[in-house]
Structure 1
Amino acid sequence: MYTREQASQLRQQFWTTFGQYLTPLLSAEGMRVNWINYKTGAKHVYFRMNADKKQGSIAIELTHPDVEMQQLVFEQLLEHKTMLHEALGEEWEWALHTTDENDRTVSRIYKEIAPANVFNKDDWPKLISFFKPRIIALDAFWSDARYSFEE
């Protein structure tokens, strides 16, 4: 068992290591990008990666506080479902109006890997191999689809 500080340091170390793998890669549009804190440019639309002691997950997360607006964006993404799954090379889970760790209503399109433990350095290659192609594929998808989501 780790102290809170040790757990925080290990998590930070993982994301730093992951970031180093992706730093040389340019976006689909040939730009430098912060892969870990990816900016979609669309308000309330985020690409989130998470790793804990049980699993890793990557998601498109919709956080609009108005659930009807959130549903509208979710439905817009549904119209792009085939294009998204083709870019990813796999199908993801779709969850309209679920709750996040802060009990806010969010909608998510996501993929998980389990078991995977971010606190076990032996699992880091598995987590990195899970996240890397998917965030790159999300970027490729978003470079084409984002114009449909501009306000």
Structure 2
Amino acid sequence: MYSKEEVSKQKQAFWTAFGRYMKPVLSADGEIISWSNYKTGIPGIFFKLDADNRQAVVTILITQSNPQLHTTFYELFRTQQKMLEAALGEHDWEWEQDITADNGSTVSRISRQIDGVSVLRTEDWPVLISFFKERMIALDEYWSTAKYAFEALL
């Protein structure tokens, strides 16, 4: 069993390792970016990575507080679903509209997870890094074109 401090240090070590691994990878637009803290440039839309002692998750998170814009963002992702899936090379992402987040706010998310991996086991890190790398590069490729439709809504 790990203490909270040990868990925190191990997670920090993983994200540092992931950042170093991804540092030489440029965005689809040829820019240097922070892959673990991806900036979409659209308020209320985030690409999130998370790993704990049981699973790893890549999430497109919609947190837009304006309910109409929130719904419009989700519907636009749905409209672009085939384009998103083509970039990802996957069709098994989970789509959840208007769910309650831990803080009580309403969010929507599109996510993909793998189970049975742990950020606390360094032997799982190659699997985690590969899982995150492939999907973030694909999301970035998708976003380099898709973002303009979202910008037009603002």
TM-score, scaled to structure 1: 0.96
Give yes or no for contact 1:67–1:97 (8 Å, CA) kept in 2.
Answer: no
**Aligned match of 2:42:** 42
Give SS of 2:12's match.
helix
Give yes or no for contact 1:53–1:116 (8 Å, CA) kept in 2.
Answer: yes
2-structure distance, mates of 1:130, 1:90:
12
**Aligned match of 2:96:** 95
**Aligned match of 1:138:** 139
After the TM superposition, which segments of 4 or more aligned residues of structure 1 sit over 4 Å from their partners?
Answer: none
Superposed displacement of residue 117, structure 1? 0.8
The alignment status of 1:23 with 2:23, answered yes or no, reads yes
Superposition RMSD on alpha carbons, in Å? 1.0
Superposed displacement of residue 5, structure 1? 1.2
**Aligned match of 1:61:** 61
**Aligned match of 1:72:** 72
Aligned residues: 151
Give SS of 1:141's match.
helix
**Aligned match of 2:109:** 108
Q: Return the letter of the residue paired with 2:137.
A: I
Superposed displacement of residue 115, structure 1? 1.1
1-structure distance, mates of 2:78, 2:127:
29
Q: Return the letter of the residue paired with 2:105.
A: R
2-structure distance, mates of 1:53, 1:103:
24
Q: Return the letter of the residue paired with 2:123.
A: D
Superposed displacement of residue 3, structure 1? 1.3
Gaps of 5+ in 1: none
Give yes or no for contact 1:59–1:111 (8 Å, CA) kept in 2.
Answer: yes
Deviation sequence 1:90-146 (CA, Å, 0-9, x none): 011111012333332210011000011111111111111111010000000000000
Identity of aligned residues (%): 44
Give SS of 1:36's match.
helix
Gaps of 5+ in 2: none
Give yes or no for contact 1:64–1:106 (8 Å, CA) kept in 2.
Answer: yes
Deviation sequence 1:1-49 (CA, Å, 0-9, x none): 1111111110010001111110001000000001110000001000000
